[in-house]
Amino acid sequence: MAQTLTVAIMDAPYEAAASTTAFRIIASALRKGIDVNVFAYEGAVSLTMKGQAPHANPVKGTTVEEEDHPTTKDIVSALVALGAEAPRLTWVNCGLCVDERGAGDWIDGVKRGGPADFLKMAEGSSATLVIPTK
């Protein structure tokens, strides 16, 4: 039977190194065939906002195309694709956190939930990792 890892994250996009580390852990677990649950709490619910757009870089003099840099929603989409079947990635945004941030227009593969869902995911998992914000 596949193992399951639940990860709770909190950091808003583009603010902390921990977000990238979380992405790396999630990707690694999926590559190993481990099902992954993500509970995005607080600022982390903004990682999946559909309205994110890449930009040119006037300091470096590069166009959007030349920068070719993903937004966090693109990264999460890639993880969702990695975990589309088996192993499976289940990404839950904390609903109240979404509401107060206006972050409700999210990419495909994400759902709304709350602390009770986080508890249920943790109870059903082989391991749970909480990555706090600072």
Partner 1 sequence: MRILNIVESAYRATLEEQDDTVLWLSRALRNAGADLTVLLRGNAVSYAVQQACPTLSLGALTIQHPAQPNDDLAKLRAKGAAVFVVQEDLDDRGIDKQRCVEAAQPVRRAEIATLLEEHDQIWHW
Partner 2 sequence: MSDYVLIESRDPFDSADTGFVADTAEALRARGRDVTVYLVQNAVLATRAGARGSQVPRLAKAGVTVLADDFSLRERGIEAGEIAGGVRPASIDALVDLVMRPGAKTLWH
Nearer to partner 1, 18 or 107 (CB): 18
For tokens 């509970």, the residue is 39
| Rounded (5°) CA angle 99-113-120 | 150
Closer residue to partner 1, CB minimum distance, 64 or 119: 119
- # of chain residues touching partner 1 (CB under 8 A): 16
- Report 28-47 residues binding partner 1 (CB under 8 A): 41-42
| Residue numbers at the binding site for partner 2 (CB under 8 A) | 3, 5, 17-18, 21, 24-25, 28-29, 31-32, 34, 126-132
CA distances from 108 to 9, 23, 30, 50, 103 (A): 19, 17, 18, 9, 14
Residue of the chain from 4, 7, 8, 59 that contacts partner 1 (CB under 8 A): 8
Q: Which does 28 bind (CB under 5 to 8 A by kind): partner 1, partner 2, none?
A: partner 2
Radius of gyration of the chain (CA): 15
Which residues have a Cβ under 8 Å from the Cβ of 104 and sit 6 or more positions away?
Answer: 98
- With respect to partner 2, which residue has the nearer C-beta, 9 or 103? 9
3-state secondary structure of 13: coil
**Binding footprint of partner 1 on the chain (CB under 8 A):** 8, 41-42, 100, 114-116, 118-119, 122-123, 128, 130, 132-134
